[in-house]
Structure 1
Amino acid sequence: MRLGSIVVILWLVVGAFAAHQRNYYTKPIDDCNQVATIAVTILAGPLNYLGMNPKIACQTPQPSK
């Protein structure tokens, strides 16, 4: 169990570093697209260095008139 936990933590750390290298943390967050892209980049982990560049497009619900 301990080895699995270490692997998961290292996976997420590598993903967070990839998001940092893409300057996702320095830009102000304007919409859910940026939040989702950061989350997917972190979850992709080392796959980012194998050519994966995840981008997510989402829409927040608008208030009814």
Structure 2
Amino acid sequence: MRKASGTGRSVMRLGSLLVFAWLVVGLVAAGQRGYLTHVSQECSDFGTIAVNVVAGPLNYLGLDPKVSDCKLPQPSSSSS
């Protein structure tokens, strides 16, 4: 088995750091928009927070993703 080279590890670390920074910027943007302070128990609120975090820095370029219609599957009722 071949060990990963130092360059490969550096690229992986840089990539991980960029993904982490991207998500932190998205979390900050969601907080600035007030999505983290007025959260209800609705699926659409959690969805809006999630898509804003994933959108990351694109939030500052005018992207404001929102989830308005969110339907979770209902558990099936089993009759025994």
Q: Report TM bin, short chain.
A: 0.7 to 0.9
The residue that corresponds to 1:38 in the other structure is: 49
What is the CA distance between 1:17 and its match in structure 2?
Answer: 0.1
Alignment of 1:15-30 (within 5 A): 15-30=26-41
Higher relative contact order (CA 8 A, sep 6+): 1
Q: Deviation string for 1:20-53 (max 9, x for gaps)?
A: 0011111132310000000000000000000100
The residue that corresponds to 1:58 in the other structure is: 70
**Distance in 2, Cα, partners of 1:36 & 1:5:** 24
Aligned length in residues = 64
Are 2:38 and 1:5 equivalent residues in the alignment? no
Q: Aligned residues: percent identity?
A: 58
**3-state SS of paired residue (2:36):** coil
5+ long unaligned stretches in structure 1: none
**Distance in 2, Cα, partners of 1:45 & 1:36:** 14
Q: CA RMSD in A?
A: 1.5
